Amino acid sequence: MSLLQVRNLRVEFPTRRGTLVALDDVSFDIAPGEVLGVVGESGAGKSMTGAAIIGLLEPPGRIAGGEILLEGRRIDNLPYERMRRIRGREIGAIFQDPLTTLNPLYTVGRQLVETMLTHLPIGPAEARERAIGWLEMVGIPAARERIDSYPHEFSGGMRQRVVIALALCAEPKLIVADEPTTALDVSIQAQVIALLKRLAREKGTAMMLVTHDMGVIAETADRVAVMYAGRIAEIGPVREVVKRANHPYSQGLMASIPPLDRRVERLAQIEGAMPRLSAIPKGCAYNPRCPRVFDRCRRERPDLMPAGATLAACWLYAPASGEGHAP
């Protein structure tokens, strides 16, 4: 059975000028121990999906439809206090900027101990020993001495390691990692990703890895979901999506990764920009930018449908459609 099931998730933001639909009909599963990469442009709803899963949508954002199940139990409608016990204990989270995610006034040891004491049936002495163990595990040198250091005494990369230790220390089954390397130096990014990948495999932790770095996805994820304007455009095994993307948007996204093995005159790019949430076009949201757009795309909105080895929300793959034509 899937560890996490997201079913037809819809997130809305009520505003003065009407309701914005930030996520619409988003469905996917994550199996135990699996790494699901989520990619897309800024504003596509990647981080929003993560926030909805850990139950920390920024008000006035709210889940307006669909459901989220963790090991078969619904968690999207739990009262705050019940959901709080799940956060950290069953679903951990890693945020983008390690410089701002640690409380500057407490030592890293205190923050680790505090998290473990909240969730695990252990005493302070045991928690401190485990905290040292976690710091060692995430590769902080001289962990026993550094445990009483404050966040500002660590570099950015080291701080993100501390954040990873904090997310993992209560041994959750799922980690929602929201752009965990975006704020880091390029030279540090690979180390942190390798660490995250190794720890997830060792602990059997599943991961939802939100990023717009295709390299990170290709390196780490088992499956990948491509998001566009609050919906999933394509989802499938990482190899398929990277090498043989079916949705025209995923194809464009993959084509925009600059090749290293040959010189290119110009970097490939997708024309235009993603629509604002208040102005999502009728039919397929991608239709104004799509090179293979046809009539039906402007009228009806496609749902995910089988396309080769992946699922793509694209009328090109509509079964027995008179207007569609095979790619």
Partner 1 sequence: MFAFIVSRLLQALPVMFTVSLISFAMFAYVGDPVVIMLGQDFTEAQRQQLIRDLGLDQPFFMQFATFLGNAVQGEFGLSYRLSRPVAELIAERAPATLELAFTAAFIALAVGVPMGVYTGLYRYSWLSRVFLTFSLIGVSLPTFLIGILLILTFSVWLGWLPSFGRGEVTRIGWWTTGFLTWSGIKALVLPAITLGLFQLTLIMRLVRSEMLEVLRTDYIKFARARGLSNRAVHFGHALKNTLVPVITIAGLQLGGIIAFAIVTETVFQWPGMGLLFIQSVGAADIPVMAAYLMLIALVFVTINLVVDLLYYAVDPRLRIGRGRGH
User: Which residues contact partner 1 by CB under 8 A?
Assistant: 54, 56, 80, 84-89, 92-93, 95, 97, 100-107, 114-115, 118-119, 149-150, 152-155, 163, 166-167, 170
Residues whose CB is less than 8 angstroms from the CB of residue 254 and which lie 6 or more positions away in sequence, other chains included? 214, 241, 242, 245
In the bound state with partner 1, the residue whose beta carbon lies nearer, of 146 and 223, is: 146
The answer to whether 205 and 124 have CB atoms below 8 angstroms apart is: no
Find the shortest distance in angstroms from Cβ 189 to partner 1: 19
Find the shortest distance in angstroms from Cβ 38 to partner 1: 17
In the bound state with partner 1, the residue whose beta carbon lies nearer, of 49 and 246, is: 49
Find the shortest distance in angstroms from Cβ 126 to partner 1: 18
In the bound state with partner 1, the residue whose beta carbon lies nearer, of 28 and 154, is: 154
In the bound state with partner 1, the residue whose beta carbon lies nearer, of 13 and 95, is: 95
The answer to whether 127 and 166 have CB atoms below 8 angstroms apart is: no
In the bound state with partner 1, the residue whose beta carbon lies nearer, of 120 and 255, is: 120
Find the shortest distance in angstroms from Cβ 150 to partner 1: 4
Task: Enter the tokens of residue 230.
Answer: 């609050």
Find the shortest distance in angstroms from Cβ 58 to partner 1: 9
In the bound state with partner 1, the residue whose beta carbon lies nearer, of 140 and 270, is: 140
* Tally of CB atoms within 10 A around 76: 18
Residue with tokens 């309701």: 19
Q: What is the DSSP string of 148-211?
A: T--GGGS-HHHHHHHHHHHHHTT--SEEEEESTTTTS-HHHHHHHHHHHHHHHHHHT-EEEEE-
CB-based burial of residue 158 (10 Å sphere; 0-12 exposed, 13-18 middle, 19+ buried)?
buried
How many whole angstroms separate alpha carbon 45 and alpha carbon 48?
5
Find the shortest distance in angstroms from Cβ 148 to partner 1: 9
Helix 124-137 crosses helix 108-119 at what angle (to 10 degrees)? 120
The answer to whether 38 and 46 have CB atoms below 8 angstroms apart is: yes
Specify the 3-state DSSP secondary structure of 263.
coil
Residue with tokens 């905290």: 131
Find the shortest distance in angstroms from Cβ 253 to partner 1: 28
Closest listed residue to residue 273, CA positions, set 229, 226, 309: 229
Strand 174-178 relative to strand 206-210: parallel, antiparallel, unpaired? Answer: parallel
In the bound state with partner 1, the residue whose beta carbon lies nearer, of 85 and 282, is: 85
Closest listed residue to residue 249, CA positions, set 314, 305, 315: 314
In the bound state with partner 1, the residue whose beta carbon lies nearer, of 160 and 246, is: 160
Find the shortest distance in angstroms from Cβ 89 to partner 1: 6
Strand 231-237 relative to strand 223-228: parallel, antiparallel, unpaired? Answer: antiparallel
